[in-house]
Amino acid sequence: MFGKGVYFADMVTKSANYCFTSTENNTGLMLLCEVALGECNEKYYADYYANLLPPGKMSTKGCGKNAPGGGKTLGDVFVPCGKGVATGIAN
């Protein structure tokens, strides 16, 4: 969707769609990661050349229809969680 790269999500339901299993292998894996994004290049639509970042940007952020409705702080790390809430983005 945004070119070559490593993809992360703040919604577990988004990531779970990529951890599917099959009848032959019913084991799926998911990691909880702390990600340092730096200055983001926000995208509202697919852009297969998004990995070609403009000057001053360090990552691409795909802005979607839903975002976590809250979160918890564990030590010094904020973990997004809770029911998804509408962001007002229409894509």
Instruction: Quote the distance between the C-alpha of residue 12 and its chain's center.
Output: 9
Q: Residue 78's beta-bridge partner residues?
A: 73
20-43 confidence digits (pLDDT tens)? 778 888 888 889 898 999 999 999
Euclidean distance between CA atoms 2 and 11, whole angstroms? 17
Please report, for the domain that includes residue 74, its CATH number.
3.90.228.10
The structural domain count of the chain equals 1
Q: Answer for the pair 23, 3: CB distance below 8 angstroms, yes or no.
A: no
Torsion angle, alpha carbons of 48, 51, 57, 60, to 10:
60
Euclidean distance between CA atoms 38 and 58, whole angstroms? 5
Q: Write down the pTM of the prediction.
A: 0.77
35-84 confidence digits (pLDDT tens)? 999 999 999 999 999 999 999 999 999 999 999 999 999 999 888 888 99
What one-letter code names the amino acid at 69?
G
Query: Residue 71: which domain range?
Result: 1-21+28-90
